[in-house]
Chain A
Amino acid sequence: MGKGKPFLEVLASAIHEDYRFPFLEIFAFLYALGTFVFASFGVSITAIGATSQAMATANEVIAYGAVSSILSLPLLILIILVFKNIAYGLGSDLEKGIIQTYFSYPLKRWGILTAKLLSALGVALLLFLGIQISALYILAPDIILPQLGTVFLTYAASLSYPLLIAGIMLLLTLKLRRGGISLVVGLVLYFAMSMVSGIATIFAIFTENPISLQIISAISPSLVLQQYYIASLGDFWAPAFSEVLLYTGVSYVIVAAVFVLGYTYFSRRLNL
Chain B
Amino acid sequence: MKRWTTVLGRVGTVLIAISLALLLVSLIPQLQLSTAKGSTHISPEQVQIAFHSQNLNPQQEVQLEVTVEGTLKVYLLEIRVELQFVNGTFDYGFNLTDLQELLSEHPDRIRWEREVENEYYERSYTPTRVMNATLVFYNPSSETALVEYDVALKSSLAPGDKVRTIAYCAAPIGVIMALPWFVNMWKQRKQS
Interface residues of A (CB under 8 A from B): 12, 19, 21-22, 24-26, 28-30, 32-33, 36-37, 39-46, 59, 62, 127, 131, 135, 138-143
Contacts and interface: CB of A to CB of B under 8 A. Distances in A.
Given A28-B17, A29-B18, A45 B158 contact: no
Contacts of B24: 33
A6 B20 CA distance: 36
Contacts of A28: 14, 17-18, 21
B128 A36 contact: no
B18 A32 contact: yes
18 contacts: A19-B10, A21-B13, A22-B17, A24-B10, A25-B16, A30-B21, A32-B17, A36-B21, A36-B157, A36-B158, A37-B157, A45-B54, A62-B129, A131-B18, A138-B163, A139-B58, A140-B129, A143-B130
Nearest to A9: B3
B57 interface: yes
B95 to A, nearest CB: 23
A62 B157 contact: no
Interface of B: 3, 10, 13-14, 16-18, 20-22, 24-25, 54-55, 57-59, 127-130, 132, 157-159, 162-163, 166
B55 A45 contact: yes
A45 B17 contact: no
Given A19-B10, A42-B57, 6 more contacts: A28-B21, A29-B20, A32-B17, A32-B18, A36-B157, A46-B54
B87 to A, nearest CB: 26
Contacts of B20: 29
A41 B14 contact: no
Given A25-B17, A28-B17, A36 B10 contact: no
Nearest to B131: A45
Given A32-B18, A127-B14, A139 B158 contact: yes
A142 B159 CA distance: 14
Contacts of A36: 21-22, 25, 157-158, 163
B153 to A, nearest CB: 14
B55 A44 contact: yes
**Residue of B3, B57, B159, B162 with most partner-chain A CB within 10 A:** B57
A130 to B, nearest CB: 10
B156 to A, nearest CB: 9
A21 B55 CA distance: 43
Contacts of A19: 10
B58 A12 contact: no
Contacts of B59: 39-41, 139
Contacts of A45: 54-55, 130, 132
Q: Which of B14, B16, B20 has the most CB of A within 10 A?
A: B14
Given A43-B55, A138-B166, A141-B128, A32 B21 contact: yes
B21 A29 contact: yes
B17 A26 contact: yes
Contact of B14 (A24, A40, A62, A140): A24
B130 A12 contact: no
Contacts of A141: 128
A140 B18 contact: no
B13 A44 contact: no
A12 B6 CA distance: 10
Contact of B54 (A37, A39, A40, A44): A44
A41 B126 CA distance: 13
A29 to B, nearest CB: 4
A41 B129 CA distance: 9
Contacts of A40: 59
B58 to A, nearest CB: 4
A41 B17 contact: no
Contacts of B17: 22, 25-26, 28-29, 32
A25 B20 CA distance: 10
Contacts of B25: 32-33, 36-37
Contacts of A42: 57
Given A19-B10, A36-B158, A39-B59, A142 B18 contact: no
Contacts of A59: 129
Interface hub of A12, A29, A39, A46 (most chain B Cβ within 10 A):
A29
Nearest to A38: B157
Nearest to A62: B130
